[in-house]
Amino acid sequence: MFKFLRNLNKDKKGATAIEYGLIAALVAVAAIGAMTALGGSLQGIFNEASTQLDGAVSTAQTGADATGG
């Protein structure tokens, strides 16, 4: 019984696996946070581009209507 407990105390593989798991979880949380922040700013950029394109299409259609095209 004591030999089992001594061997269990010497075995550090479980602790290493837990540490790697915690590091992976921390990296995942940081990545999710960064992607969320980046997604918000990208949404604004694409909305602005869409607005600009809609304005350009409207202007082109209005110009074509005025020239009879």
Give me the residue spans of the domains in the chain. 1-66
CA distance 29 to 45: 25
Q: Write the pLDDT tens digit of every residue in 5-56.
A: 666 666 666 678 889 999 999 999 999 999 998 888 888 899 999 999 998 8
DSSP 67: T
Q: Write the pLDDT tens digit of every residue in 43-59.
A: 889 999 999 999 888 88
CA 43 to the chain's CA centroid: 13
Does the predicted model carry a pTM greater than 0.85? Answer: no
